[in-house]
Amino acid sequence: MDKDLCEAALNAFSLQGIEFELGHEVTGVEKNKNGHLVKYKSRESGEKKTLSVSHVLVATGRRPNTDGLGLDNIELKPDDRDFLIVDENFRTTAANVWAIGDVTPGMMLAHRAEDEGIAVSEIIAGKVGLVNNQVIPSIVYTHPEIASVGLTETEALERFHIKKGNFPFVANSRAKANRDTQGFVKVIANAEDDTVLGVHIIGAEAGNMIAQAAQAMEFGATSEDIAYTCHAHPTHAEALKEAAMSILGKPIHM
């Protein structure tokens, strides 16, 4: 996720009473009569610590589940991370075998797999099937929600000269009416041609709002295109318009 989203999320969750121990690694977990004793240490100083908790959630990532598919029978071998390698048309190295979704490299998201399923069905039927992996949105369903599509600021800076605009929900009429003004919308654009490179949102309606950003990017929209598209008032979506307008130096409510 974009660094500004990470900082905002850390602040929002800290205000909710969640405590964070960053830069640490867990060295062991022991079960006891009260729950669990977690042992961990600082990566920087090596200081050892313990934490008594009722439950432990282990979230160390996911791997594709390609076991038991009989891949050896068709001489189809996963890579060293158990992914199936496919070409631009989702074909594997085995004849008449296609693969989509979480068993292939890429974002492990249900909506990506859904679009790839549609695309590969059309390809098998002799038609054109496409999925633009550059504009697949990601959403974290926390409160506030977090949503992104396209390049983060760090990624964009590695490839382009950029310009960016930011608009806080505290200046958005709908967010104020709902008394939920945490968060902001951030738009990143190419400084040379104004093409939108990424949109990052943290706020109550981020998951719904990111669809408009993804569609705009699919059509190669500029920040000016978004800024001068009429948005209904009062809506959370106006924050996306105003973030784009701030790139042009013309935000209305800030």
Domain holding 90, by residue range, is: 71-134
In a domain, 62, yes or no: no
Looking at residue 142, which CATH number applies to its domain?
Answer: 3.30.390.30
In a domain, 59, yes or no: no
Catalytic positions: 233
In a domain, 158, yes or no: yes
Looking at residue 95, which CATH number applies to its domain?
Answer: 3.50.50.60
Structural domain tally of the chain? 3
Percent of the chain with pLDDT over 70: 100
Q: What is the pLDDT of residues 68-122, one digit of tens each?
A: 889 999 999 999 989 999 999 999 999 899 999 999 999 999 999 999 999 999 9
87 and 140 part of one domain: no
In a domain, 205, yes or no: yes
In a domain, 88, yes or no: yes
In a domain, 208, yes or no: yes
242 and 139 part of one domain: yes
In a domain, 96, yes or no: yes
36 and 140 part of one domain: no
129 and 144 part of one domain: no
- Annotate 72-106 with b (16+ C-beta within 10 A) or e (fewer): eeeebebeeeebbebeeebbbeeeeebbbbbbbeb
pLDDT confidence tier of residue 235, bands split at 50, 70 and 90: very high
Q: Is the pLDDT of residue 226 over 90?
A: yes
98 and 152 part of one domain: no
The pLDDT of residue 186: 98
- Annotate 134-172 with b (16+ C-beta within 10 A) or e (fewer): ebbbbbeeeebbbbbbbbbbeebeeebebbbbbbbbebb
pTM assigned to the model: 0.91
In a domain, 66, yes or no: no
96 and 106 part of one domain: yes
124 and 224 part of one domain: no
